[in-house]
Amino acid sequence: MKILSAGLLILLAGLQYQIWFGQSGAMAQQRLAGQVAEQKARMEQLQQRNRKMIAEVVALQSGKAAFEARARSELGLVKKGEVFYLIPDEANP
């Protein structure tokens, strides 16, 4: 009887090990849930970036004003007859 009890106890311990630490155990599921949450957060960031880029493309395609504003801010372009003044920062000599 003691041998049967010991055998059943070892079998129970082996099954518990598989439940908690096996490939599809509780620890693995928690790790995968964490990875899924990270991927969802990253996906949301990428979707937000895509929405901004789509809005920018639509604005550039819709009219000349957005194109001109971007050229002025990024390239420093000036129209004919305009005067450009550059005021340097005192922090950067």
Model pLDDT for residues 13-40, shown as the tens digit of each residue: 777 777 767 677 778 888 899 999 999 9
Q: Which two tokens stand for residue 73?
A: 């801010």
How high is the pLDDT of residue 48? 98
C-alpha 27/C-alpha 37 separation (Å) is 16
More confident residue, 56 or 45: 45
More confident residue, 73 or 43: 43
How high is the pLDDT of residue 41? 97
C-alpha 43/C-alpha 34 separation (Å) is 14
